Every structure is written in C-alpha cells, then in structure tokens.
Chains A and B, each alone.
Chain A
Amino acid sequence: MRYKVLTVDDSKTVRIIVKKAFKGYDCEIIEAANGVEGLAAASKETPDLILLDITMPVMDGVEMLTKLKSDPALKAIPVIMLTAEGGRDNVLKIAKIGVRDYIVKPFKEEVLVEKCGRIIDLKPLTEGPQKAKSIFDPATLLVVEDKPAIIQQIQEGLKHTPWKIHGVNTTGEGIDYCSKNTPDLIIISLSLPEEAAFTLFRLIRQNVKTKYTPIFALVVKTEAAAQQQAQQVGFSYIVTKPIEIAEMESKIAKAMNLDTSQRYFAVDGDVFVMRLPENCSQTVVGEVTNYLKPKVSGAVDSGIVKAVIDLHELKSLNMAVIKLLIQAMQTCKDLALQYTLVGNPQIVSECKGFEDTRNWTFHESIADAKASFSRSAQPAGAA
C-alpha cells in the first residue's frame, strides 16, 4: 500500500525538504501552501498523515487543525506539527487540539522520517523496482559480534561473494553504523553481554530504514534457551556456532531474496547449461529443484533446443542428487530439449554403481558435449 503524506507549509523549501526526506520510501507526498489548500487536499486525497506548519498566510495551521478535528470525515487523519513555533506552553496548547507528534524546526530529515514511521508503516523503496537482486550483486552485511575471530571467520568464509562484511564489536557501534548506513542484512551475536543483542534487535526494528532488514542471530549450537528466545523475538534465522559457512551463505541469499539461479543455470551460446557445484548439499538440491522447471521452460521459450547437464565440479553422488538429475532429464524430455551430460571420472565411476544411473553416458567437457550435438540428434544421456 502506497501511503499519502500531505505537507502543509507556506515555504516551498520545507515542502521540498519533506519530499527529499521521503524520496527513498514508498509514499506519495501531496503539497499545500496554507490551511485552506490543506483542508481541500485533505478532503480530496484523504492522506494517511498530515505534516502541518503553523505560521502561514490565508489560514494558519492552528485554524486548519481545529477545522480538521471538527470534521467527522477528516478528524481521524493523524497530524504531526512541523513548525518553528515552539515553546512549552504553545506546544501544550496545540497538542490538546489533537496532534500525534510535534517537531520544532530546525529538523533533521532522518528525525522526520523516523517520527512519521511510527505512525505509518513506511517501506523503503527497493532499487530497480522489478528486477530481483542477484547473487552476483554487491551487498553490505553488518556483523555485530564481540569476538573478532568470528567476524574474521565470516569475512574469510564469504570472501568469494560480492558482499562487503562490516564487523563491529559492540551494540553502540552497530547502532551508529545503522544510523549512517542501511545494511542489506544484519547478523547479531547473542553472546553480547547483558542481552544486548535483543535490545539492538528492537532498536533496529524501530528504525524505519532497517525495519524490514533481515536479522540473523549467531549463537552456540547447544544454547537452546537463547535460540528459542531469538525465535520468539523474531530473528529471521539462527546461525549456530561452529558456523557452517555454505549453509549460512545460502540462508543469507534466501533472506535477501537474491536470485541464485545464475549459480546453477546459464545460457552458453545456443546451449542451456545446468551446473551442479562441488558440494551439493540438501539446500543446493532444494534451490536447483525450485528453479529447474521455470529455467528450462524459459530456455525453450527463447528458442534453445540443446542442454548440457554439467557435473564436472561435483564431488560425489547421493540419492537427492540422483533424484534431481532424473527430474532434470525428464523436464528436458517433456519439453523436447536435446540434452547431454558432462562428468568427472569420480562421478562417471559412481554412476556405474546405481541401477538408475548405470546407463548414463558422459562427456569430458562442455566443448565435447556441444560438439556431440552436431554428430547426433539422439539424447546422449538417455537411460
């Protein structure tokens, strides 16, 4: 839902600053230059929030507020005063008419957004509205952990990714970082002293910029009580120590809603390539299975008729991988896609040991596999 915010101020400068402040959020800013225009805009647009100045020509903010609150159709619209008219008595008098908050100018844009975010559920706009971010796009991860060795382990483990891992040791540094930056994901160690992780979690959730940022908890595997508490509070995922980096990477990608399909699927010239990595964990098999049908259909839709299932990096077979490969081959058959297999000696040898895979034939490289298409129209890997 796109929220509407009405800014009523005779200063165009203030209205521009308000627009600028909300630029990164999914909301529409409506402008009015005095109380009369403000009431008209409120009736016409029914905004979700009104930012109201006091000193204005034609009709001032106090009169507009009074009229607004006496109109049954408009009185429920929350109002935040945004004005240079402060002073304790003045603020108290106006607050009694019925305002949700009172911001005295000068004001910082972040404070304005933060206070509005307490009334309407502001959502940051995602960059590139339609296109999902890919696993190859840069991202920033904040790790709040009092043990530098763990931060280092995460940085080392994820250094093959385009992600920048920013490590801090205290919640104070974490809060400071979040006030100046918007990380794509935050990992907080539950071992921070005095339950600071939970306090930090709440503060991050209260910040409108990080309200929807995935937050992972980092905890020792055996600390069941802390894990349970983290789940109840609403941490997006719990990473247990010792850290299984590949598993964590996969969960991070999922939490950031990244398109990981490019890891496993590509188009090489006129050939569709499905590639399985060295370690094909249950998570990887799950990811590939999810992408399989849409990716193969997409390739066929774009006119591709040949496919290579590339297993040359794969270390070993297991039942889940075999099941996935059979499903991949069946999908190719269903869509009349010519396919062939590429494998290393280990995989070729392991395939001989299973009833379902005994008759699979492999090429040594993708180049060989591609060349085979021109020699034969028959599916080379058919059982």
Chain B
Amino acid sequence: MPTIDQISESVFRETINRAVQDVFKTMLGKTATLENASAVANADGSPWEHPVHISGQHVVGTVGFIGDISGLIYLYLEDKFANDVASHMLGMTLAEIDEAGHEVVNDAVGELTNMTVGTFKNQLADKGFPCKLTIPSILRGSNFSIEPVSSATRRIYRFHVGEHAIVADLLMKSGD
C-alpha cells in the first residue's frame, strides 16, 4: 500500500489547485489563481508562526477526510466574499442574502468547502488513498487563529479570485 510520504509537495499543490479551480469555475464561473508563495510547516518542533493573517470578518468552512489518508481542509473567505458566493450559488440578490442571515451563507460556504475537499480527496483516492468525507462545519470571526496539534502537517495555499483572497489550509495527519 502506498504511504503518505510518497506524495510529493508538487502533487499536493497540484491537487488542491485543481480542486479549488474546478469548484470555483463550475459553481461560481470564477477563476481562482494559486499564488506562488505558499507556506509549508512540518511538525518537527519548529515554532508555529500564525500563517493565516485574518483581517476583518471571515467565514471559514471545514471538511475532513478519513481513510487511508486523513486530514482536513479549512477554506477561509472574507465575509463579503462569502455573501457573494452564497448569492451566486443560490441565485439570490445580496439584499436577500443579508435578510436571510448567516445560516444561509454558512450552508453555502459549507457546501463549497465540501465540494473542494471532495475534489481534492477524490484525486488522492484515485492515486491509491481511499478516504471518506466528513460533514462540513463553519467558523466565523475576525480575530482568531486555528492551530493544529503537533502531529499534523500543515500546508497553506493562497488563491486570488478576482479582487478577493482565499486561503486553503490543509492539515494532515502525519504518516503512520
């Protein structure tokens, strides 16, 4: 059976890039562009510096994957962009989204994250690492940081979608 260590950084990068691009193109008709500089931090005892800078209100979707390879992905969206995403996916105006409240936006971001993580892990499944998705959850706030446990490997990928920045934060259980 292949092990997680056999997956190179470029494969992770290409896989997450394809997943984000595919989901944003299909569901929103928008092009997501991966920034060149993305941070990788291993659980080797080196101190964590908070790599995702949160400024202003954010909505963060999370979906995990469990199986021969396990981990989770956080998808960070500025709250205004999250409203845009919900508006586009649901065919509602921004005023209607505002009126409908957080619950509707949370559900849309949760589904967008679910699709992104699904596309990511399906590619890994086809490379010999079958795993299943978990149910999405949502974080909201303006001044917080998400820290992994020390046994996790963290990879952060920054994208631009038009004028908006999004971050895909991939946390994976280190190889057993």
Contacts and interface: CB of A to CB of B under 8 A. Distances in A.
Contacts of B152: none
A372 to B, nearest CB: 59
With most chain A CB atoms within 10 A of its CB, the pick from B115, B119, B126 is B115
A87 B130 contact: yes
B26 interface: yes
B125 A13 contact: no
Contact of A84 (B104, B130, B133): B133
A234 to B, nearest CB: 34
Q: How large is the interface on A (under 10, 10 to 19, 20 to 34, 35 or more residues)?
A: 20 to 34
16 contacts: A11-B111, A12-B104, A12-B107, A13-B86, A13-B107, A55-B133, A55-B134, A84-B117, A88-B126, A89-B125, A90-B122, A105-B119, A106-B22, A106-B23, A106-B119, A107-B26
A203 interface: no
A12 B86 CA distance: 11
Contact of A105 (B114, B121, B130, B136): B114
> What's the dominant secondary structure at chain B's contact region?
helix
Given A12-B104, A106-B22, A87 B115 contact: no
Contact of B114 (A16, A55, A57): A55
A17 to B, nearest CB: 6
Contacts of B71: none
A11 B104 CA distance: 10
Nearest to B28: A106
B135 A13 contact: no
Interface string A1-31: 0000000001111101100100000000000
B27 interface: yes
Contacts of B90: 13, 16-17, 20
Question: Which A-B residue pairs are the 6 nearest by beta carbons?
Answer: A84-B118, A87-B125, A86-B122, A106-B26, A13-B111, A11-B111
A318 to B, nearest CB: 56
Nearest to A53: B114
Contacts of B107: 11-13
A85 interface: yes
Contacts of A17: 89-90
B160 interface: no
Interface in B97-111: 104, 107-108, 110-111
A253 to B, nearest CB: 34
A85 B91 contact: no
A257 B133 CA distance: 51
B3 to A, nearest CB: 18
Interface residues of B, number: 28
Interface of B: 22-23, 26-27, 86, 89-91, 104, 107-108, 110-111, 114-115, 117-119, 121-122, 125-126, 130, 132-136
Contacts of B135: 10, 55-57
A105 B115 contact: yes
Contact of B133 (A11, A16, A20, A85): A85
Given A17-B90, A55-B135, A108 B26 contact: yes
Given A11-B114, A55-B133, A86-B122, 5 more contacts: A12-B107, A16-B90, A57-B135, A84-B117, A84-B118
B149 to A, nearest CB: 24
B133 A13 contact: no
B118 A104 contact: yes
Contacts of A104: 118-119, 122
A35 to B, nearest CB: 13
Contact of A90 (B27, B111, B125, B134): B125
Interface in A86-136: 86-90, 104-108
Interface in A39-97: 54-57, 83-90
A164 to B, nearest CB: 26
Contacts of B91: 16, 20
A192 B80 CA distance: 51
A90 B118 CA distance: 12
A12 B134 CA distance: 17
A55 B126 CA distance: 19
Contacts of B115: 84, 105-106
A255 B135 CA distance: 51
Contacts of A54: 133
Contact of A89 (B89, B104, B130): B130
